[in-house]
């Protein structure tokens, strides 16, 4: 390949470190050169196209599917437009019903995933407008969609996505912001304040790049476990799905994400002495609820780790270790939380003597159904 790892041990590590730049490039890509505002045109859409959206269906696979849940959370909160997230491989077999005004958004790093491509084709057949958020220019999914937004992650080599996922989150934020603006759900002051906060993300992601020294002791404590539980509520749940996938795909440890409140409806029966639980707690309004779920697992012997944000109060006694990311708007917390989660996966993989760039049985891009 023309791309080299340079000073890095693996492409995954290199790509984790490229995230501040990739996110910045994606933010700049979305800006109009003249007035420096996010532009509808970066999605190759007009304001009118945004105004016409009454519902959204997101279709994607793997990590891109998880990015869809972040988009749902942010979009529903900012723009008050309902979003349904579906696995691309399921979409066609659910006798899909698409309403007038429903925009189908496909998210894909490669732009070549067979299931996602087939779902886009099905959506078009049903008469829906389609937007794709893809990383590869000229890819099949981009070509078949009415509208395209290109994430600016650059080529991603490691099978486990890092920087492309981060750019997909950002694309989702910008889309939601533009939709909220077009729909008159947020005023200009709020649009600017959210935009300013987004432009602070690359710097804050950069700060998160020094959290590898804090995730290492955690990785050492988790590397011999057989099952790891991830917990979160709302946006934290969305991000925990990606955290669990990342860790399981390159460490071969069974990891599963559960919404904090749902755990007690079944899965808590699996919790025993020393069961590892990784809790994402970045949403202030949900923190108390999430912590009461921590108490439920702790009283059954779980060893708990917290990934939280500055200014959110969590009790040291509840956790084996607490990892704190810098403060941002709660809506954008996932962009920071994901970085230490990536480090954790990478380090567990290395500690187990595995090659994080080449996990068994997995392909970077799956072009068969
Ligand atoms: C493969 C990869 C995953 C990826 C998924 C979707 O299964 O191993 O990491 O998330 O495909 O890929 P896409 O290119 O559509 O984002």
Q: Which of 64, 67, 111 to mutate to test the pocket of ligand 1 (most atoms within 8 A of CB)?
A: 64
- Taking the centre of ligand 1 as the mean of its atom positions, its distance from the CA of residue 188, in whole angstroms, is 36
* Distance of alpha carbon 44 from alpha carbon 105, whole angstroms: 13
For residue 206, the model assigns a pLDDT of 98
Q: What is the 3-state secondary structure (H, E, C) of 269-289?
A: HHCCCCCEEEEEECCHHHHHH
Instruction: Show the ligand 1 pocket: residues with CB < 6 angstroms.
Output: 61-64, 108-110, 113, 116, 159, 161, 362-366
Which uninterrupted H or E stretch holds 124?
helix 114-125
Q: In the prediction, which pLDDT does 327 show?
A: 97
Distance from the alpha carbon of residue 162 to the mean position of ligand 1, in angstroms: 11
Return d(Cα 44, Cα 150) in angstroms, integer.
10
CA-63 nearest atom, ligand 1: 10
Q: How far is CA 71 from CA 125, 177, 270, in A?
A: 24, 11, 31
CA angle 133, 122, 169 (to 5 degrees): 20
Q: What is the pLDDT of residue 4?
A: 84
User: pLDDT tens string for the chain (369 positions)?
Assistant: 567 888 899 999 999 999 999 999 999 999 988 888 999 999 999 999 999 999 999 999 999 999 999 999 999 999 999 999 999 999 999 899 999 999 999 999 999 999 999 999 999 999 999 999 999 999 999 999 999 999 999 999 999 999 999 999 999 999 999 999 999 999 999 999 999 999 999 999 999 999 999 999 999 999 999 999 999 999 999 999 999 999 999 999 999 999 998 888 888 888 999 999 999 999 998 888 888 888 999 999 999 999 999 999 899 999 999 999 999 999 999 999 999 999 999 999 999 999 999 988 888 888 878
Please report the pLDDT score of residue 45 as a whole number.
98
Alpha-carbon gap, residue 342 to 350, rounded angstroms: 12
- Helix (H) or strand (E) holding 143, with range, is helix 140-144
pLDDT of residue 2: 65
Residues 6+ away with beta carbon under 8 Å from 275: 227, 229, 297, 300, 301, 302, 303
pLDDT on residue 36: 84
Q: Is 352 a catalytic residue?
A: no
Tell me how far apart the alpha carbons of residues 57 and 126 are, in angstroms, rounded to a whole number.
13
DSSP helix/strand/coil, 59:
strand
Cβ neighbours around 95 below 10 Å, total:
5
pTM higher than 0.95 for the full model?
yes
Nearest alpha carbon to residue 19 among 251, 348, 341: 341
Measured between its terminal Cα atoms, the distance across the chain in Å is 27
Residue nearest to atom 2 of ligand 1 (CA): 364
| Angle, CA of 17, 18 and 24, to the nearest 5° | 130
Q: What pLDDT is recorded for position 367?
A: 81
Looking at residue 355, its pLDDT comes to: 95
Query: Ligand 1 centre and the CA of 64: distance in Å?
Result: 7
Phi, psi at 207, each rounded to 5°: -60, -40
Nearest CA to ligand 1 atom 5: 62
Q: Which of 185, 221, 289, 364 is catalytic?
A: 364
Within a 10 A sphere around the Cβ of 33, how many other Cβ atoms? 7
Helix (H) or strand (E) holding 323: strand 321-325
Strands 55-60 and 83-87: parallel
Question: SS3 for 333?
Answer: helix
Interface pTM, i.e. ipTM: 0.96
């Amino acid at each position: 390949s023309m791309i080299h790892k340079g000073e890095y041990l693996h492409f995954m590590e290199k790509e984790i470190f490229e995230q501040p730049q990739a996110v910045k490039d994606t933010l700049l890509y979305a800006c109009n050169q003249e007035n420096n505002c996010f532009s509808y045109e970066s999605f190759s859409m007009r304001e009118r196209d945004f105004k016409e959206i009454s519902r959204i269906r997101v279709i994607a696979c793997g990590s891109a599917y998880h990015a869809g849940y972040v988009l749902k959370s942010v979009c529903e909160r900012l723009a008050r437009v309902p979003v349904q997230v579906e696995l691309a491989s399921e979409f066609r077999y659910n006798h899909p019903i698409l309403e007038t005004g429903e925009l189908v958004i496909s998210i894909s790093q490669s732009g070549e995933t067979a299931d996602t491509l087939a779902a886009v084709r099905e959506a078009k057949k049903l008469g829906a407008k389609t937007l794709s958020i893809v990383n590869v220019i000229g890819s099949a999914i981009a070509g078949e969609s009415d509208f395209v937004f290109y994430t600016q992650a650059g080529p991603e080599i490691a099978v486990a996505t890092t920087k492309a996922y981060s750019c997909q989150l950002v694309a989702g934020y910008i889309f939601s912001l533009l939709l909220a603006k077009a729909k008159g759900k947020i005023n200009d002051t709020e649009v600017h304040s959210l935009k300013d906060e987004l432009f602070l993300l690359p710097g804050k992601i950069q700060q998160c790049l020094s959290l590898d020294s804090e995730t290492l002791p955690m990785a050492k404590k988790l590397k011999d476990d057989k099952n790891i539980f991830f917990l979160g509520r709302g946006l934290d749940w969305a991000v925990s799905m990606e955290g669990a996938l990342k860790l399981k795909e390159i460490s071969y440890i069974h990891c599963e994400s559960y919404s904090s409140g749902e755990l007690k409806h079944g899965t808590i029966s699996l919790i025993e002495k020393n069961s590892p639980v990784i809790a994402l707690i970045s949403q202030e309004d949900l923190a108390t609820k999430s912590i009461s779920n921590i108490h439920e697992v702790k009283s059954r012997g779980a060893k708990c780790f917290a990934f939280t944000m500055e200014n959110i109060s969590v009790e040291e006694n509840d956790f084996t270790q607490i990892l704190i990311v810098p403060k941002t708007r709660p809506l954008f917390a996932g962009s920071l939380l994901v970085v230490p989660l990536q480090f954790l996966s990478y380090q567990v993989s290395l500690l187990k003597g595995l090659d994080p760039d080449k996990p068994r049985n997995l392909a970077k891009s799956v072009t068969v159904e």
